[in-house]
């Protein structure tokens, strides 16, 4: 899986953090350098050793630099070619670079970063990098409707589902008027439970649905659509609190769909500046999952392949707790 656009940290940041408590050098142990053939004197190591760290062996016999071989970068030149079939191995330290992980680690780390970001967002109740959110709420007869993702940057649209049953067909009436102005493209028309096809079976102009052929006598006519609720006249926003205040109560049993933008900033870099505690927490979670995934599994269900839920480390939990409203984050 590729790194998500909403992942809070980069692969390089995660890689560097995973090595944060390790030495700034890595160790190659018993690296197979090659096999002697009695004539070849030059061989190459996988990395350039840190000066003085190389231990080179031929047939398990330690070789002496200058006396037995010379080294330039990662290239070894023997004074005398190792004999046929003799195994050449090496132990050494080398400097950790920014990309010492294998390619398959990149894919795994991307998955862990995506998961860690989601864990941190769910725990703190915040969205870090801005994204478009579409969510549905059932009315509860209250005027205030609270959005799930915080902070809210802007609200694009608020619509409510409408379902209408019209009088039965009479074999002659072709035009039926909807009770509300429908959102463009949202109307669906049914005759005796069978969905009708726009243009082929009916047309729509404004709030008027006109059948090409009048529904037969006794046929049941039903229509569903969404009605766009108008800002200011029908609702007001309280973006910082993530609230929509209706001019009336949000009716129980009615589904309201809201499209909005949530998140701290539009880019990863800008979001990291605004939520440094979240960055630290995500890196902690990534490192924790990478090093001790088994210790953090709280639930596992095998359906097809598997499904796992990870718990937070205590340090990450403290960092994210500080971002929650009760922890003082505004």
Contact indicator for 206, 181 with CB cutoff of 8 Å: yes
**What token pair was written down for 260?**
């909005």
Distance CA(137)–CA(249), nearest Å, equals 13
Contact indicator for 259, 156 with CB cutoff of 8 Å: yes
Please give the mean pLDDT across all residues of the chain. 86
Residue 39 has what DSSP assignment?
A: S
Contact indicator for 157, 186 with CB cutoff of 8 Å: no
The confidence score (pLDDT) of residue 101 equals 52
**What token pair was written down for 87?**
């195994």
pLDDT digits (tens, 9 = 90+) for 59-115: 999 999 999 999 999 999 999 999 999 999 999 888 766 555 555 567 778 888 998
pLDDT digits (tens, 9 = 90+) for 265-319: 999 999 999 999 999 999 988 888 887 654 444 554 545 545 555 555 565 666 6
The confidence score (pLDDT) of residue 316 equals 62
């Amino acid at each position: 899986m590729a790194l998500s656009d909403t992942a809070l940290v980069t692969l390089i940041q995660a890689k560097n953090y995973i090595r944060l408590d390790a030495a700034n050098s890595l160790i190659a142990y018993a690296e197979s350098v090659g096999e002697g053939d009695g004539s070849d004197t030059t061989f190459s190591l996988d990395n350039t050793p840190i000066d003085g760290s190389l231990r080179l062996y031929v047939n398990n016999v330690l070789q002496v630099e200058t006396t037995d071989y010379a080294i330039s970068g990662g290239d070894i030149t023997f004074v005398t070619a190792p004999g046929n079939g003799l195994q050449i191995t090496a132990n050494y330290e080398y400097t950790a670079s920014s990309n010492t992980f294998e390619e398959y680690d990149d894919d795994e780390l991307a998955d862990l970063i995506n998961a860690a970001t989601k864990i941190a967002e769910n725990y703190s109740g915040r969205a870090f990098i801005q994204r478009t959110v579409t969510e549905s709420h059932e009315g509860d007869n209250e005027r205030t409707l609270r959005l799930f993702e915080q902070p809210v940057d802007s609200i694009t649209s608020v619509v409510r589902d409408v379902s209408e049953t019209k009088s039965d067909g009479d074999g002659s009436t072709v035009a039926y008027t909807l009770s509300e102005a429908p959102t463009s493209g949202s109307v669906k028309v049914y005759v005796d439970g069978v969905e009708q096809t726009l243009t082929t079976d009916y047309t729509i102009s404004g709030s008027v649905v006109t059948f090409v052929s009048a529904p037969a006598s006794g046929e049941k006519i039903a229509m569903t659509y969404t009605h766009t609720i108008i800002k200011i006249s029908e609702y007001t926003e309280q973006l910082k609190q993530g609230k929509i205040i209706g001019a009336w109560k949000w009716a129980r049993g009615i589904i309201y769909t809201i499209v909005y933008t949530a998140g701290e900033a539009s880019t990863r870099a800008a979001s990291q500046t605004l939520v440094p505690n979240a960055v630290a927490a995500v890196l902690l979670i990534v490192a924790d999952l990478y090093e001790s995934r088994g210790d953090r599994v709280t639930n596992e269900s095998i359906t097809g392949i598997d499904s796992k839920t990870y718990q937070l480390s205590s340090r990450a939990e403290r960092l994210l707790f500080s971002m929650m409203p009760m922890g003082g984050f505004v």
